[in-house]
């Protein structure tokens, strides 16, 4: 049987190759510069921009420390996904690979957005660079505006397409055997997560925005992720040949490893979306209550009101 079916390393497995033997947790470090350089650059620019921001406005003004803490937490989650240990372990375990995907989609993305990196990074740039740097975003905004193409339903469908598409066994195998495709997979998970959570945060900040679309997107995401997780968990046979000869290094059969991946997607993977739904409904109820109070006070001031 060909080695690729058994899951042994191929010429370009993962990021710049995979060790012939399981590295162990202590050695599961990834030193891929194509991942380390963007993470380091993002951190340096954020620190520089935040320093300049607080130097002019005063500590904590305009950009609260909680936002900076959220961004730092987001970078830490990205480090867990890309640097240690999941990027290496994901070559040996579908469960670890699934945990990496869930961190990108559901944890790192909202934390990074809460840190408002765009505002802070622009502060780190020379004034002459700001307009050219923001031109692509302004061009996209002029073309598609803020309608259905940037709404929560579209973001939900895109995220679902990314999730289901990459977990087709053939697509997963190609990603695990080709560096470029592997990078594209990571980028699509993080990008889909950023778009999804950005649409939800925008609905929270925009008082004129409705909450129905956001709630539907959150619940719909939980449902489709739960369905895919259940399919992996209850499948009678393993579906990912790459891991057939690898999961034993972690003490798991290929089927047990696949079941672990399904449970990770199904339960902890859905938790951020459940929390997001509860927060969205809490904000909606509070705004509705304030709206009702204002209407009641206004009605009492009308002539003839009791």
Contacts of 3 by beta carbon, 8 Å cutoff, 6+ apart: 10
Distances (CA, A) of 6 to 96, 124, 244, 283, 301: 19, 49, 6, 51, 78
The reported pLDDT for the residue numbered 58 is: 82
pLDDT digits (tens, 9 = 90+) for 32-53: 999 999 999 999 999 999 999 8
Q: Are 244 and 7 in contact (CB under 8 A)?
A: yes
pLDDT tens per residue, range 217-235: 999 999 999 999 999 999 9
Contact indicator for 239, 258 with CB cutoff of 8 Å: yes
Where helices occur in the chain by DSSP H, the ranges are 3-6, 33-57, 65-82, 86-89, 94-102, 109-114, 117-124, 127-144, 152-166, 169-177, 179-205, 212-233, 254-266, 271-300
pLDDT tens, position by position, 72-123: 999 999 999 999 999 999 999 999 999 999 999 999 999 999 999 999 998 8
Peptide bond into 9 cis (omega under 30): no
pLDDT band at residue 283 using 50, 70 and 90 as cut-offs: confident
What is the per-residue pLDDT across 256-269, written as a single tens digit (0 to 9) for each?
A: 999 999 999 999 99
What was the pLDDT predicted at 124?
86
Q: Which pLDDT does position 57 carry in this prediction?
A: 77
Which band of pLDDT confidence, cut at 50, 70 and 90, is reported for residue 201? confident
pLDDT digits (tens, 9 = 90+) for 117-163: 999 998 888 877 777 777 776 666 665 555 555 688 899 999 999 99
Q: Lowest-confidence range among 59-68, 217-226, 279-288?
A: 279-288
Residue 31 has phi, psi (to 5 degrees) of -110, 30
Res 277 pLDDT > 60: yes
**pLDDT score of 298:** 62
Average of per-residue pLDDT across 226-253: 94
246: burial class by Cβ within 10 Å (0-12, 13-18, 19+)? buried
What pLDDT is attached to residue 139? 64
pTM for this prediction = 0.86
Stretch 198-225: mean pLDDT: 81
């Amino acid at each position: 049987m060909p080695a690729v079916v058994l899951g042994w390393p191929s010429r370009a497995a993962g990021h710049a190759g995979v060790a012939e033997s399981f590295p162990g947790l202590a050695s599961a470090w990834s030193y891929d510069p194509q991942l380390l350089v963007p993470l380091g650059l993002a951190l340096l620019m954020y620190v520089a921009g935040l320093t300049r921001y607080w130097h002019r406005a005063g500590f904590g003004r305009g950009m609260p420390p909680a936002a900076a803490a959220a961004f730092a937490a987001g970078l830490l989650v990205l480090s867990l996904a890309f640097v240690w240990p999941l990027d290496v372990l994901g070559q040996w375990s579908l469960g670890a690979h699934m945990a990496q995907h869930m961190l990108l989609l559901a944890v790192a993305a909202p934390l990074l957005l809460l840190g408002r990196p765009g505002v802070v990074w622009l502060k780190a740039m020379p004034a002459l660079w700001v307009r050219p740097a923001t031109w692509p975003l302004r061009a996209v905004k002029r073309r598609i505006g803020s309608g259905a193409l940037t709404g929560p339903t579209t973001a939900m469908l895109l995220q679902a397409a990314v999730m289901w598409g990459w977990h087709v066994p053939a697509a997963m195998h190609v990603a695990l055997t080709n560096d470029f495709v592997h990078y594209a997979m990571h980028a699509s998970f993080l990008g889909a997560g950023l778009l999804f959570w950005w649409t939800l945060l925008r609905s929270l900040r925009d008082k004129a925005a409705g909450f129905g679309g956001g709630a539907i997107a959150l619940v719909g995401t939980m449902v489709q992720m739960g369905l895919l997780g259940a399919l992996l968990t209850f499948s009678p046979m393993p579906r990912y040949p790459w891991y057939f000869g690898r999961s034993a290094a972690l003490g798991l059969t290929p089927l047990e490893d696949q079941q672990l991946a399904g449970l990770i997607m199904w339960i902890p993977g859905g938790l951020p979306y459940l929390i997001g739904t509860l927060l969205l409904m809490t904000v909606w109820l509070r705004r509705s209550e304030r709206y009702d109070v204002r209407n009641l006070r206004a009605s009492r001031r009308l002539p003839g009101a009791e």
